[in-house]
Every structure is written in structure tokens, then in C-alpha cells.
């Protein structure tokens, strides 16, 4: 029997990699996408299947985590073996600006899905994965952070995810559902949203290198994160639903780097040597030398990064470092791509796009480049 999976957030970074992964495994994959005034399926267009084709193995449904009847109807129609709840307002800084919406989608959205599964009598047959986050640890109580480390969330996003974490545990304990949390540390890829820090850096510096932008504005570059690759992490999401009993797992690399280091890596991959000068909000990154042909848009002395306090968060998570021992031991999982390799891959992809845009600009077809975020 072909297994059926339902993915919320299928148009996002993880959703797109997970859909690819499950299709390769022979699943029938259903994804929930939001209605938008523009196409929002860039990340999954390469796996799109015409719904007119009979037996299409990838199908999209319009929906929203804020809409109970919609979720219930899709679940009743699909009757999935596995639900992956990846949909979320996932930007920590934005959650301070839209706290109530973030809670509605990230916290109550999770409850809506769980309750719909139970209401439809699917609680003994449908397995549920919740995209929990290292942001739960927030103001860290122990380093490295493991499954038993106490939580101290530091943003409306993290508090909403805390509710989602516990309601998933609660439905497991109360109704015997196969429901589990993956407590995932930051994971990135060339498909990462443009306003998360790694992509902002690789895209911004690639644009600067090609003369499309002059400077990027950053927040707290001393923040430290445990960065992995999204491809490695979606494999784990699936593995967690294939066990005999549901359990929660930390997924991380066990290595930590600063945002500042990530900026230096990306610059290095573009043939730019940089130095950080000044202090506090006056700190800038100055080009020291340019080697190779990847950065025709910059010269020594150019200031290509400045600090803008607008990107500081009302409460910051300064440092996160995960201990993935349990996943390694019980699920025999190992991350395959290092943060340094991932940075190189992201720079290479963003450089390709920047080169295309530079060529268009040269021929008078400049596309507007959004640098906000």
C-alpha cells in the first residue's frame, strides 16, 4: 500500500525538501499551500504534477493553519498515514511585530490539526510530527542543550512553539497518539528564506560582489548558532515517524559558530578578504583585498556591512548549541553536510542568481532587488 503524507508548510524551505524526500520514497504526498496574490510555489515548482493527471503522487490543497474547517476537510479527504506540521510564521523577529498572529498559527494551529485528527477518529492510525525549535531553550539553562534541558523561550514565536510542543506531548499521553517533536536547531540551505541571517548574508554579499548592492545592514553579529543543512534535517523528521514508539529528539550538529564567522566564510567564498572595524553599533566590515573574478563589484576600502540596531531583537537568544546524541544513538542519524560546506553551497547558488541579474542590468533590464529584512 502506498503511504500518504500530508505536509503543512510545503511551500517553505523544509516542506520542499521533505516533499522531494517522501516522493523519492514512493509516498503519495499532499501539501497545504496558502492562497497568495502571487505564485508562492517557487520551491516546489520542480516537483509540481498536473492535477489533471490521474494518480498524481504530489497534490496541493489550499489551506491555512488558522482555519479549522479547512484543516478538518483536508484531513478527512486525505486520511494521511503521516502528518508533518511544518507550517508556521517562522521568523523570530517578525513574531515581536505580529505576536497574536504568530500564536494563532504556530500554537493554536498545531492544536487545530491534532484535534481534527482526533475528531475524525484518525488518532490511532495517523502519525504526527511537530516542527519544534531550539528557540524553546532561549535563555539557555544548560550547554549543550539536550531533550531534558529546561525551556526558557524569549520571543512570541518561541512561546507559541512551546505551546505546540506541549500540546503534542499531551495528545500523545492523553490519547495514545503517535505524536512527536523534533527539536530542531537552525538549519539552512540555498532555499532558506531571504530574511534569515545566513541567506541574508550569502545573498547580500553575492549581490554586492556583482555590483547590485553596496552594503548590507545586520543586527547582532555576535549571536552564535548550531547550523545544519535542511536536507539532513528532513531525513530525521521522517525517521522520527518510523519508530516503534513516539519520542522527542534534538536535531543538531553539536558545533557552533557566530554570525560574524558566517559573514567571513561567505566573503572568503567570493574571494573577498574582510576586516571588522569599530565597535558596537559603529562596527563595519571593510574589504581588505579582492582575489579572483567573483567580486568585480567591490574594491579594497569598501564598507560592505554595517550594524543597524533595527535588527536587534527586544529579547535576544545569544547562543544555542545542541547535543544530538540521542538521535545519533537511537535513530542512527548523522548530519552529512557541515556549516562551512553549506555556506559555500549557498554562496554558489546566490552568486549564480546575482550574475544573471548583473547581466540583465548590463543590458538595461535591471530587476528591482529587495534588500529589506
**Contact residues for ligand NDP (CB under 6 A)?**
8-9, 11-15, 32, 34, 36, 40, 64-66, 86-90, 105, 131, 133, 184, 186-187, 193
Q: Which residues contact 272 (CB under 8 A, 6 or more apart)?
A: 205, 209, 287, 289, 290, 295, 298, 304
Q: Does 29 help bind ligand GDR (rule: CB under 6 A)?
A: no
Is 319 a binder of ligand GDR (CB under 6 A)? Answer: no
Contact 210, 347 (CB under 8 A): no
CB of 137 to ligand NDP, least distance (A): 11
Question: Residues 6 or more apart from 258 whose CB is under 8 A from it?
Answer: 221, 222, 223, 224
The closest residue (CB) to ligand NDP is 12
Minimum distance, C-beta of residue 129 to ligand GDR, in the bound complex (Å): 15
Question: How near is the Cβ of 125 to ligand GDR at its closest, in Å?
Answer: 29
Between CA 114 and CA 127 the distance in angstroms is: 10
Beta pairing, strands 257-258 & 216-218: unpaired
196 binds ligand GDR (CB under 6 A): yes
Cβ at position 175, least distance to ligand GDR in Å: 26
221 forms part of the interface with ligand GDR (CB under 6 A): yes
Whether cis (ω within 30° of 0) applies to the bond prior to 144 is yes
Q: Is the peptide bond before 5 cis (omega within 30 degrees of 0)?
A: no
40 binds, among ligand GDR, ligand NDP, none (CB under 5 to 8 A by kind): ligand NDP
- Closer to ligand GDR by Cβ: residue 130 or 186: 186
C-alpha–C-alpha distance, residues 27 and 45, integer Å: 18
Strand boundaries in 234-313, DSSP class E = 249-251, 257-258, 272-277, 284-290, 303-307
Binding partner at 64 among ligand NDP, ligand GDR, none, C-beta below 5 to 8 Å by kind: ligand NDP
> Residue 182's closest CA among 231, 221, 237?
237
Site for ligand GDR contains 90 (CB under 6 A): yes
The option from ligand NDP, ligand GDR, none interacting with 87 (CB < 5 to 8 A, set by class) reads ligand NDP
Measure the CA–CA gap between 307 and 223, rounded to whole angstroms. 13
List residues bridging with 131 in a β-sheet.
182
Interface stretch with ligand GDR, choices 48-56, 217-225, 229-237, 350-358 (CB under 6 A): 217-225
* The one segment of 127-135, 232-240, 291-299, 356-364 that binds ligand GDR by CB under 6 A: 127-135
Identify any residues that bridge with 8 across adjacent strands, giving them in sequence order: 32, 85
Nearer to ligand GDR, 41 or 195 (CB): 195
Q: Does 225 bind ligand GDR (CB under 6 A)?
A: yes
- Cell numbers placing 45: 515548482
Quick one: 19 or 274, whose CB is closer to ligand NDP? 19
With beta carbons less than 8 A apart as the criterion, state whether 313 and 155 touch: yes
Q: Which residues bind ligand GDR (CB under 6 A)?
A: 90, 92-93, 133-135, 185-186, 195-197, 200, 218-221, 223, 225, 259, 311, 313, 316-317
Amino acid at each position: 500500500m502506498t503511504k500518504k503524507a500530508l505536509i503543512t508548510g510545503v511551500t517553505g524551505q523544509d516542506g520542499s525538501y521533505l516533499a522531494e524526500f517522501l516522493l523519492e520514497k514512493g509516498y503519495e504526498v499532499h501539501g497545504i499551500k496558502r492562497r497568495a496574490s502571487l505564485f508562492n510555489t517557487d520551491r516546489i515548482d520542480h516537483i509540481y504534477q498536473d492535477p489533471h493527471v490521474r494518480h498524481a503522487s504530489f497534490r496541493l490543497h489550499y489551506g491555512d493553519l488558522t482555519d479549522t474547517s479547512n484543516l478538518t476537510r483536508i484531513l478527512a479527504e486525505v486520511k494521511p498515514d503521516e502528518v508533518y506540521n511544518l507550517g508556521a510564521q517562522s521568523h523570530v523577529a517578525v513574531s515581536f511585530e505580529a505576536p497574536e498572529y504568530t500564536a494563532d498559527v504556530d500554537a493554536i494551529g498545531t492544536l487545530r490539526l491534532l484535534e481534527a485528527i482526533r475528531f475524525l477518529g484518525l488518532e490511532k492510525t495517523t502519525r504526527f510530527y511537530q516542527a519544534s525549535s531550539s528557540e524553546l531553550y532561549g535563555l539557555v539553562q544548560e550547554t549543550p542543550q539536550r531533550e531534558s534541558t529546561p525551556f526558557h523561550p524569549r520571543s512570541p514565536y518561541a512561546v507559541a512553539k512551546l505551546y505546540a510542543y506541549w500540546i503534542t506531548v499531551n495528545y500523545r499521553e492523553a490519547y495514545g497518539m503517535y505524536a512527536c517533536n523534533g527539536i530542531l536547531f537552525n538549519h539552512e540551505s540555498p532555499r532558506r528564506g531571504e530574511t534569515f541571517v545566513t541567506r541574508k548574508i550569502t545573498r547580500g554579499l553575492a549581490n554586492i560582489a556583482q555590483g547590485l548592492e553596496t552594503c548590507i545592514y545586520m543586527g547582532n553579529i555576535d549571536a552564535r548558532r548550531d547550523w545544519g543543512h535542511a536536507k539532513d534535517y528532513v531525513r530525521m523528521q521522517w525517521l522520527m515517524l518510523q519508530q516503534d514508539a513516539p519520542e522527542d529528539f534534538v536535531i543538531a550538529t553539536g558545533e557552533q559558530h557566530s554570525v560574524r564567522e558566517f559573514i567571513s566564510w561567505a566573503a572568503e567564498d567570493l574571494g573577498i578578504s574582510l576586516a571588522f572595524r569599530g565597535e558596537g553599533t559603529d562596527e563595519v566590515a571593510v574589504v581588505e583585498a579582492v582575489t579572483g573574478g567573483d567580486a568585480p563589484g567591490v574594491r579594497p576600502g569598501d564598507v560592505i556591512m554595517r550594524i543597524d540596531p533595527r535588527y536587534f531583537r527586544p529579547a535576544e537568544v545569544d547562543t544555542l548549541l545542541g547535543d544530538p546524541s540521542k538521535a545519533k544513538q537511537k535513530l542512527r542519524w548523522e548530519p552529512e553536510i557541515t556549516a562551512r560546506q553549506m555556506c559555500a553551497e549557498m554562496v554558489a547558488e546566490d552568486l549564480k542568481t546575482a550574475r544573471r541579474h548583473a547581466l540583465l542590468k548590463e543590458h538595461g533590464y535591471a530587476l528591482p532587488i529587495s534588500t529589506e529584512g
